[in-house]
Structure formats: structure tokens, C-alpha cells
Amino acid sequence: MVEKTMKKLNYDRSALIETLHTAQETFGYLENETLKFIARRLKLPFAKVYGVATFYHFFRLKPKGKHTIVVCMGTACYIKNANKILERLEKKFNIKAGETTKDELLSLISARCVGSCSLAPIAIYDDKTVGHLSVEESEKEAEELIK
């Protein structure tokens, strides 16, 4: 599927993001061997492919958990204690942002901005967006998610 996407786009270097999307949809995440393959086929330096894959929060370099929590760390959210929300969730689940619990039940992600500044601080629990979060409420939402 990845090769098919690159071929359809004539192995154009500007097709990198679309190719990464296809690879992630196909394999669930982007492991190093996949990134190296894409770099070779698109004739791009590995560092460029890796840089793009790590810059955008929707790309994953590790398997995703059954559930996902995305905590916005944009300026508006950060000012309203998003960092404390993230710290509480990291402590509760014994993982850091960008990691998945050992049982693969939960992935915790920090995003540069989710574009909902008026709801700051905000987090997304799977497909449920919750704004004006308190630290305590963020933990309660997380517990509900993994029930």
C-alpha cells in the first residue's frame, strides 16, 4: 500500500506527508525501518523523513494504545495549567507524553495546539473533546475512558 501511494504520486518528494499517512494507516505506527524505506524510495535524507514524522503530533513512532488522550500545550492552554494536567496524567499512568502504557491500554500525547483556544485548557479523550479542564477533572475523564 505504501509503495502504491508513492508510485501513484510519481515518487515525488513533496508526497512525503501523504506517504507517511498511508504507512501509518497500514502499519498502525511508523517504525524506523518504515521511515528508512520511505526515505530511500523518495530519495530523501532519513533525517528529513524522521523530522517530519516527529514534528506532527498525529504521526506515531510507537504502537498506539486502545485509548488516546491528547493534551493541548498551546500558549492559551499552557497559561491555564495544561502542564499540570499533563503531569498528573503522566504520574497516574506512569508514562510520559508520547508513550503508551505497558498494557497498551492508553497512549498519552501532548499537542502543540489543537486550535480551540477559547476552551483552554483542553484535552481530547479518544474522540471526546473536553474544555475548561481542571487537573482533577482531567484525571476523572481519563478514568472514565479506560473503564
Residue at a domain's end among 33, 55, 77: 55
Alpha-carbon span 82 to 88, nearest angstrom: 10
The Cα 74–Cα 95 span in angstroms is: 21
Q: What pLDDT band is residue 12 in, cutting at 50, 70 and 90?
A: confident
What is the reported pLDDT for 91?
Answer: 97
Q: Is 131 annotated as a binding residue?
A: no
- 19-77 pLDDT per residue, tens: 999 999 999 899 999 999 999 999 999 999 999 998 887 888 888 899 999 999 999 99
Same domain, 35 and 77: no
Q: Which amino acid is at 132?
A: H
Annotated binding residue at 72? yes
- In this structure, the answer to whether residues 74 and 133 fall within a common structural domain is yes
pTM exceeds 0.95 for this model: no
Question: Residue 102 is part of which domain span?
Answer: 67-145
Q: Is 132 annotated as a binding residue?
A: no
Asked whether the predicted pLDDT for residue 10 surpasses 90, the reply is no
Is 117 one of the annotated binding-site residues? yes
CA distance linking residue 56 with residue 83, whole number of Å: 19
Asked whether residue 62 is domain-assigned, the answer is no
